[in-house]
Chain A
Amino acid sequence: MNWEDAIPAIAFAQAAPTAEPAMDSDQFAAFYERTSRPLWAYLARTSGDPSLADDLMQESYVRFLGAGFQGDGEVASRSYLFRIGTNLLRDHWRRQRTVSLEEMPAERSAARDLAGQTDSRLTLSPALAKLRPRDRQLLWLAHAENYSHREIAEITGLAAPSIRLLLFRARRQMVQLLTKEGAGR
């Protein structure tokens, strides 16, 4: 007789956090080598905060292993990893500020770095720094990581039909900023 027979609702109701990892340590090390730098680049360039990217990257992998994700190959695992990182970034911003990621002005997310941090790894281009974090995310996933609209929707949690329009707006704004930046040189 086990407790889950007697009290099924209580016992083992939260089995997910202790799921067996889907890969062994060697497989994980290889996966980590292939994905950690692109993930860090995404988190650092989206947040504008390299130290935060360090923390979120490690946490992303810990949660990835804890979830025991049984994805269909490396592409799915990598996409799932980016999704975890995106969620962590969103949670971080929600904890820090009461405004949503979509409403947050670009200057605000980068202000911390400009005001106090002197991390040498922070080299956001002026155009990227002036974009809103959500726009940076979308553009990065679409053009630096080559994810499809459907994959971006899965990673960001946004509705798939809206990705096209959001990307169009973000792209238009970035072109304006890059053009202005080019003209100013």
Chain B
Amino acid sequence: MIGNCSHLVEVQRSLAAGQWPHAVAAELLAHVEGCNRCTQEILIVQHLRTEKASAIAAATPAMPALVWWRAQLRRRNAALAQAGRPIAAAQLFALAIVAAAAIGIVATHWHAMLHGLAQVPVSSLLSALGSWGLAPLVLAGTLVAALSGLALYLSADRQ
């Protein structure tokens, strides 16, 4: 049975106020003697209060300034990690563009490359690559450099 006793609140109040058992009405004392629920409450509360008092006496908390400093340090580290996130995102974005450009070049010149490899000697293949292949790569590299610079500028601006 979980049900409460009608006098329980009164008993709890007197326990919380430190009035039990000396400063409570005789009727309440008489009630508690015959009430299982109130007896349990008193037994447990008194036991836990004793435990709490001994634990509080044994506690040796660190200086609040030390805890404050630790919290500030962690906050600063979190802010730094947060500031680094846009740069990492920009780098990832630039890498994706380079990869897309490389895939695009291979896809558009696939047949020409196969044809050239089959018919042209290695020495002239390099010159052919120079004639049509370097321009998109240079373009992609310039784009990456520009985006990285922009990312750095915006991150610094944010700070």
Chain B contact residues: over half helix, strand or loop, or mixed?
helix
Closest Cβ–Cβ distance, residue A57 to chain B (whole Å):
7
Partner of A32, one of B16, B49, B64, B86: B64
Residues of chain B lying within 8 A (CB to CB) of residue A21? 71, 75
Residues of chain B lying within 8 A (CB to CB) of residue A54? 60, 62
| Contact (Cβ within 8 A) A144 B78 | no
| Contact (Cβ within 8 A) A29 B58 | no
| Contact (Cβ within 8 A) A44 B154 | no
| Contact (Cβ within 8 A) B74 A62 | yes
Q: Known contacts A2-B158, A44-B55; decide if A33 and B64 are in contact (CB<8 Å).
A: yes
Closest to A119 in B: B58
Interface positions of A (Cβ within 8 A of B): 1-3, 7, 10-12, 14-15, 17-18, 21, 25, 28-29, 32-33, 36-38, 40-41, 44-45, 50, 54, 57-58, 61-62, 65-66, 120-121, 123-125, 127-128, 139-140, 143-144, 146, 164-165, 168, 171-172, 174-175, 178
Partner of A28, one of B58, B62, B64, B79: B64
| Contact (Cβ within 8 A) A123 B54 | yes
Residues of chain B lying within 8 A (CB to CB) of residue A121? 55, 58-60
| Contact (Cβ within 8 A) A17 B65 | no
Q: A25-B65, A28-B68, A123-B58 provided; 5 other pairs, C-beta below 8 A?
A: A7-B86, A10-B89, A18-B78, A139-B48, A175-B43
22 sample A-B contacts, Cβ–Cβ < 8 Å, listed by A number: A2-B154, A2-B157, A3-B89, A10-B89, A32-B61, A32-B64, A37-B56, A40-B56, A41-B59, A45-B55, A58-B62, A58-B67, A65-B68, A125-B47, A128-B47, A143-B44, A144-B48, A144-B52, A172-B40, A175-B44, A178-B43, A178-B44
Residues of chain B lying within 8 A (CB to CB) of residue A146? 16
Closest to A170 in B: B44
Closest to B3 in A: A168
Beta-carbon contacts under 8 Å, B103-159 to A: 151, 154-155, 157-158
Bound CA span A146–B49, Å: 11
Interface size class of B (residues with CB under 8 A): 35 or more
Q: Known contacts A18-B79, A144-B52; decide if A165 and B154 are in contact (CB<8 Å).
A: no
Closest Cβ–Cβ distance, residue A148 to chain B (whole Å):
11
Does B70 sit within 8 A of A, measured CB to CB?
Answer: yes
| Contact (Cβ within 8 A) B58 A50 | yes
Residues of chain A lying within 8 A (CB to CB) of residue B54? 123
| Contact (Cβ within 8 A) A61 B40 | no
* Cβ contacts B22-65/A at 8 Å (1 or 0 each): 00000000000000000010011101110110111011111011
Q: Known contacts A11-B86, A41-B55; decide if A29 and B65 are in contact (CB<8 Å).
A: yes
